[in-house]
Chains A and B, each alone.
Chain A
Amino acid sequence: MTDAERTTTDRGSAEGGRAQRRGLVRRLREIVGDRHVLTDPADVVVYEQDGSILQVLPEVVVLPASTSEVAAVVGAAREANVPIVPRGSGTGLAGGAVPAEGGVVVSLARMTRIREVDLRGRIAVAEAGVINLDVTRAVAGQGYFYAPDPSSQAACSIGGNVANNSGGPHTLAYGVTTNHVLGLEVVLGDGTVTWLGGRVPDPPGYDLTGVFVGSEGTLGIVTAAALRLMRAREAVRTLLAIFDRMDDATDVVVQITAAGIVPAALEMMDRTTIEAVETGAPAGYPRDAEAVLLVEVEGVREYAERAAELARQICVRGGAREVRVARDEAERQRLWKGRKGAFGALGALAPHYYVQDGVVPRSRLPQVMREIAEIGRRYGLRIANVFHAGDGNLHPNILFDMRAPGQLERVIAAGGDILRACVAAGGSITGEHGIGLEKKAYMDLLFSPADLDAMARVRRVFDPDGRFNPAKMFPTPITCAEMRRAPAAIPAGLWI
């Protein structure tokens, strides 16, 4: 446990806490208006969970509408000595927006203004609550787009993307969020508002913007971001390859990238996932296939055509039983349909699933996929794999039924084994979902005490009181009790 966390543990149980809380709520209402401070259980209960299966009920939820309101809210929380937990759309998959130690949840959902679009400079300045897809919508007509595209992009917010350093299928070609954030407006622990970074990439001095991206709300609250816009690609080519052997499919992934093609997306689904898709929302995949690979290439017309043809040849040579090539946008959408609906379809096979987010070097994919299958066999659990094969970002979904006695323990143990296998293969414990509550127990697989201490020191620089999103990121073991707080069924429309 870090110093910062230690100071927060005792908080809230002080004498007169109740009276103090009433004072805090009054103060918050003054700042944002009565309507935007929620304390009624029926209101706050919906903020006890994000896209993960972890739950903690907040004491008060506040929805400021401007940066100055956020700053005032932070000041009020500091005076009341309670934790602050920022939250965007709550689509995160690691419990990062769950108020682990109570306190004030600050929802940025009302800060939805796109303050500026500068197409010549290729920059958009968006507030934290702006929905990811809305940035692209605002500039698509002029031929631009915002590249990071987490599967939740129709719902997740820019602030949340920044907090988690989100990726997406097209990360392979364009990189994750940190590569697309030029500057950030942040509210720090003492209530000051400051801009980090600027409007040009790689400014001099320390890369404070880079520290904030991916810090999961533990350093301060991001209220706005200067985002890099990209020129829309002239041409897109999509193809889908069906394999009888998982090893062939993973080999093809390695070969495609080795051939010098950088696909915009390179997505894989295994047999269990295919079965779920064909049961839940049929996409026309053969049920007896072992793997389906989706390849998308884009760029200038000449390149996209040539690269798609090369990729097709590699798939055929690599043992694909069938390769389908989309001839138009409608066909392209059909090819993507199964992939986009895959997570929702998993409900057709089991009432619960626990998604992991490991990363391995691309070259180790075939080996790690075999190890995951072996872990599934060892624990007697079905594991469905849907993942970003191109950048080695795995999403093994452990299917289970929480009501069956002893299953949850096995699931947690299997999840841990999968992450250990990823780390042993030179990989990491999260590709794009963040650490939050869920993964913090595994941080010491990756980092030594000295590494974690270095991070803790950085945290103290920005947040000496440990007030922002306490008990996240830094390792303490996750327990079954935390997991058991999960609801009985997975909500529909989970995005991964």
Chain B
Amino acid sequence: MGRDGLVRRLREIVGDRYVLADPADVVVYEADALPLTGALPDVVVLPGSAEEVAAVVRAAADGGVPVIPRGAGTGLAGGAVPEGGGVLVVLTRLDRILSIDPRARLADVEAGVVNADLNAAARPYGLTFAPDPGSQAASTVGGNIATNAGGPHCLAYGVTTHHVLAAQVVLADGSVVWVGGAASDAPGYDLRGVLVGSEGTLGIVTRALVRLVRLPEGARTLLAIFDGVEPASRAVSDIIASGVVPAALEMLDALTLRIVEDFVHAGYPADAGAVLLVEVEGVADVLDRLADRIRALCARHGARQIRTAATEEERALLWKGRKEAFGALGRVRRGVYLADVTVPRHRLPEMMRRVAEIAARTGVPIANFFHAGDGNLHPNLLYDPRDPAAAAAVARAGEEIVRAGLELGGTITGEHGVGLDKREQMRWMFTDADLEAMRRLRRAWDPHGRLNPGKVVPQ
């Protein structure tokens, strides 16, 4: 079956409208949010049901071509980008919220449901889907599952895998199975856990049963301004040590603050060394006392000013700078390479020193804003993509940062996934035996290596 034959068969499965083969249609699928272009898919198909996905997978298998699943394409690691042709299966048409059970706090959703849309649907019941990646306005639940996405509030709620009870999966042979179950911690092997974060290399998630959590009765948001990253990091340690588990604990460094202030006008002092954003949630009448405690801890570490949001508008303003920081960087420099390193939380001050050293040595400006509470750094390396020398320097600096993180006992990616971008870095973190175990697992699910080939595990 040649390409034309495959396209014909796909059209029979999903209908003419949902098979894209014209260059003007497929070219938009050659990249996701990683600033890197992969190969063009041979054909793009948008199935409307799990059965259609299964039939598409079988057709691709018959044609001997790879299948690359894709949600909204907001991933930052190139996971949804073809490396050498194949059928790109876009799941955005699977966008139905099948049911919300407010008593059991569960939602049954198709893979293409947008994270924010699920939240909007759950809000009237006082519930929310906890994972809140920066892309949540656009990214899909299926994509969140594929990358085991996190977000600022994962400090308190955990990442996506903690919120997925079961998933319907189309396997490489076109069979459709469920992994996990309606009750948490289903018996048998935790195949659900393997699937979450497998970036589409083991199967295509078409539907999921996800946990909803109760919207907090109230929240207090504090913004503490420090003279440097060091005292702010020490305050982070003390807050966690005090037993308070903030819903979010985010840090912005001096360079970020300067850029953010220039473009977002969130009212952060432009000469500050670091800003800490702390949010506590829970039962309304203890919030003020928790906020008092956090204020005292920040003050003890030399916070020069602490602001507390009393209203939703004030809260939004305090968050504004953090939420728009990434976009603001784009306004300063055309090229932003976003690293995603996690280190044990107590190694944070040391890691920050190393990042500063690397920036000084390589001459690459690095802006840091990140999930301090769980040690997940997002150093943003700024450069001009049209300058080949700058690009090379960024590549070197990026590598040094990842290696420094590993030396401190960290990982190569906290929440963005491996995809194409970090595939080779997997070798730095895992032994050959580890990687071989992963390859064997992959072969057990996908013996012919047809699902999202080339991703996650280096060959």
Residues of A within 8 A of B (CB): 120-121, 165, 167, 175-176, 178-179, 192, 194-196, 198-208, 210-211, 213-215, 219, 231-234, 254, 258, 260-261, 299-300, 302-303, 306-307, 310, 359-364, 391-392, 426-432, 434-435, 439, 443, 446-448, 450-452, 454-455, 457-462, 473
In the assembled complex, the Cα of A359 lies from the Cα of B413 at a distance in Å of 35
Q: Is B178 an interface residue (CB 8 A)?
A: yes
Q: How far is the CA of A204 from the CA of B427 in the complex (A)?
A: 12
A194 to B, closest residue via Cβ = B433
Given contacts A254-B103, A428-B181, contact A194 B437 (CB under 8 A): yes
A178 with B188: in contact, given A194-B433, A205-B418, A454-B445 (CB under 8 Å)? no
Give the interface segment out of B17-25, B31-39, B338-346. B338-346
A392-B216 Cα distance, complex, nearest whole Å? 22
Do B444 and A460 have beta carbons less than 8 Å apart?
Answer: yes
Q: Cβ of B188 and Cβ of A435 under 8 Å apart?
A: yes
List A contacts of B188 (CB < 8 A): 214, 435, 443, 446-447, 452, 455, 473
A290–B439 alpha-carbon span in the complex (Å): 55
Distance from B117 Cβ to chain A, minimum over Cβ atoms (Å): 24
Return the contact of A215 from the options B171, B189, B433, B441 (Cβ within 8 A).
B189
CB of A204 within 8 A of CB of B417, answer: yes
The residue in chain A whose Cβ has the minimal distance to the Cβ of B196 is A207
Residue picked from B148, B175, B186, B457, most chain A C-beta under 10 Å: B186
- Do residues A306 and B283 form an inter-chain contact, with CB atoms below 8 A? yes
In the complex, how many angstroms separate the beta carbon of B458 from the nearest chain A beta carbon?
10
User: Are B283's CB and A207's CB within 8 A?
Assistant: no
A-B contacts besides A206-B442, A391-B184, A461-B443, 10 pairs, CB < 8 Å? A192-B433, A194-B437, A196-B434, A200-B410, A207-B196, A260-B217, A300-B242, A430-B187, A457-B445, A461-B441
A205-B418, A428-B181 are contacts. A260–B187 as well, Cβ < 8 Å? no
Known: A303-B286, A457-B444. A211 touches B189 (CB 8 A): yes
In the complex, residue of chain A having the shortest beta-carbon distance to the beta carbon of B457: A205
Q: In the bound complex, how far is the Cα of B175 from the Cα of A215, in angstroms?
A: 24
18 A-B residue contacts at CB 8 Å?
Answer: A200-B342, A204-B422, A206-B438, A207-B161, A208-B194, A208-B441, A232-B243, A234-B243, A300-B242, A300-B244, A300-B286, A300-B293, A443-B188, A450-B175, A450-B176, A458-B189, A461-B441, A462-B437
Chain B residues with Cβ below 8 Å from A363 are 101, 103-104
Which B residues touch A435, using CB under 8 A? 187-188
- In the assembled complex, B159 has its CB within 8 A of some CB on chain A: yes
Pair B190/A210 contact, Cβ less than 8 Å: yes
With A206-B198, A454-B445 given, is the CB distance from A361 to B106 under 8 Å? yes
Q: How many residue pairs between the two chains, A and B, have CB atoms under 8 Å in the bound complex? A: 216
Contact B344 A165 (CB under 8 A): no
* Contact B444–A359 (Cβ < 8 Å): no
CA distance A348 to B61 in the complex (A): 63
Partner of A205, one of B103, B216, B426: B426
Contact A121 B441 (CB under 8 A): no
Given the interface pairs A120-B346, A211-B194, A451-B178, the reply to whether A429 lies near B243 with Cβ below 8 Å is no
For B202, the chain A residues whose CB sits under 8 A away are: 206
Assess the A300–B194 pair: CB atoms within 8 A: no
Closest to A218 in B: B189
Q: Is B321 an interface residue (CB 8 A)?
A: no
What are the residues of chain A within 8 A of B273 when measuring CB–CB? none
Cα(A300)–Cα(B283), bound, Å: 12
* A431–B283 CB distance below 8 A: no
Partner of A362, one of B104, B178, B426, B445: B104
B residues 390-432 in Cβ contact with A at 8 Å: 409-415, 417-418, 422, 426, 429-431
A450 lies within 8 A of B177 (CB): yes
Partner of A165 from the list B150, B162, B185 (CB cut-off 8 Å) is B185
Interface contact A359-B183, CB-CB below 8 Å: yes
The complex places the Cα of A341 from the Cα of B216 at a distance, in Å, of 36
What residues of chain B lie closer than 8 Å to A391, measured between beta carbons?
A: 184
